[in-house]
């Protein structure tokens, strides 16, 4: 029977020791990190198997997104719960500590095991996920910022391969009214530069540019000057509409990418929060199971029976 003096001596010795069992925490964190990696790789495999390059086959993007979120939450719950249970089950038994303090320490051990496992898996798994999300956001931002350039390229601004910012002014300097003064290739290049500069500036064709383009069209077609001007106005209006359509499409793509990144970040936060909760809860259960273990004295294994 333990006397009061022995109990006081044990309590005094226990007060000089840390209430953190780092060995149990690292053991639980290692188990949680390994299980997280396995489950994430399994999720990648299932996701890739559900994707098909053929139209109308395989899972949709929305289905894949919801499945990824659910799988991430399950991964956090399962892996964190296992790590917390191991940390609570393997920690040092506090025989002389009050039950409330034991409950708090078990919860803290589960939380610390989850924190260490999260820091470890962040470099292995979450880095790749954030790279994908960041790439989507960067792509959307690039599309939004380069909408005008892309639209001009589709209209033919980049087709000429001329990146000289002074090309338009040089063309203006050497403009000639003679029909044979400009070849067809040179005329196409000049029209391209005029359209690109005017569209990029977001304005209307100047009177001089409009008259010169109508002259080029009239020289190379059977249209009258009035018909040529109408064609110039019509084609330029189509070019501006193409630019506006490209800008709207780029803005929609950027907005969709931003929403995907925001939703992904929020659901990852929820999943990690669930992991922390279940790790702490499982650690308290593991700690209670640890305290319920009955230590069998070594004398119980001694026997006087002869060994056969």
Residue 199 within any structural domain of the chain: yes
Residue 289 within any structural domain of the chain: no
Whole domain around residue 183: which residue ranges? 149-249
- Convert the pLDDT of each residue in 51-76 to its tens digit: 777 777 777 777 888 888 899 899 99
pTM value is 0.60
SS3 letters across 132-161: HHHHHHHHHHHHHHCHHHHHHHHHCCCCCC
Token pair, residue 40, equals: 């994430």
Contacts 24+ apart (CB under 8 A), 184-192: 184/220, 187/216, 187/220, 188/160, 189/160, 189/162, 190/216, 191/216, 192/155, 192/156, 192/157, 192/159, 192/160
Residue 237 within any structural domain of the chain: yes
Residue 161 within any structural domain of the chain: yes
Phi, psi of 203 (to 5 degrees): -115, -170
First to last CA, the chain: 37
- The angle, 0 to 180 degrees and rounded to 10, between the axes of the packed helices 207-220 and 184-200 is 150
Residue 30 has pLDDT above 90, yes or no: yes
Q: What span, in angstroms and rounded, lies between the C-alpha atoms of 30 and 82?
A: 10
Total number of domains in the chain: 1
Residue 4 within any structural domain of the chain: no
What is the pLDDT confidence band of residue 176, given thresholds at 50, 70 and 90?
Answer: low
Residue 261 within any structural domain of the chain: no
Residue 9 has pLDDT above 90, yes or no: no
Range 28-42 average pLDDT: 90
Residue 53 within any structural domain of the chain: no
Residue 195 within any structural domain of the chain: yes
Residue 2 has pLDDT above 70, yes or no: no
Q: What span, in angstroms and rounded, lies between the C-alpha atoms of 184 and 305?
A: 113
Query: Could you tell me if 19 and 94 are in contact, meaning their C-beta atoms sit under 8 angstroms apart?
Result: yes
């Amino acid at each position: 029977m333990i006397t009061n003096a022995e109990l006081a001596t044990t309590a005094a010795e226990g007060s000089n020791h840390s209430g953190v069992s780092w060995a149990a925490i690292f053991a639980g964190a290692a188990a949680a990190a390994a299980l997280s990696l396995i489950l994430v790789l399994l999720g990648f495999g299932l996701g890739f198997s559900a994707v098909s390059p053929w139209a109308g086959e395989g899972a949709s993007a929305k289905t894949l997104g919801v499945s990824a979120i659910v799988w991430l939450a399950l991964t956090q719950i399962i892996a964190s719960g296992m790590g917390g249970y191991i940390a609570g089950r393997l920690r040092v038994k506090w025989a002389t500590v009050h039950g409330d303090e034991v409950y708090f320490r078990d919860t803290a051990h589960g939380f610390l095991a989850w924190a260490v496992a999260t820091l470890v898996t962040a470099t292995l798994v979450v880095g790749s996920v954030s790279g994908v999300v960041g790439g989507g956001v960067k792509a959307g931002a690039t599309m939004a910022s380069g909408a005008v350039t892309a639209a001009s390229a589709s209209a033919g601004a980049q087709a000429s391969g001329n990146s000289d910012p002074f090309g338009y002014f040089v063309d203006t300097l050497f403009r000639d009214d003679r029909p044979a003064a400009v070849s067809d290739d040179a005329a196409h290049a000049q029209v391209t530069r005029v359209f690109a500069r005017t569209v990029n500036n977001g304005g209307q064709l100047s009177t001089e540019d409009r008259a010169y383009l109508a002259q080029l069209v009239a020289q190379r077609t059977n249209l009258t000057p009035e018909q040529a001007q109408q064609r110039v106005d019509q084609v330029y209006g189509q070019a501006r509409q193409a630019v506006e359509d490209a800008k709207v499409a780029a803005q929609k793509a950027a907005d969709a990418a931003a929403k995907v990144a925001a939703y992904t970040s929020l659901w990852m936060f929820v999943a990690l929060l669930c992991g922390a909760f279940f790790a702490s809860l499982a650690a308290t259960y593991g700690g209670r199971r640890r305290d319920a273990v009955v230590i069998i004295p070594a004398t119980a294994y001694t026997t006087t029976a002869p060994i056969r």
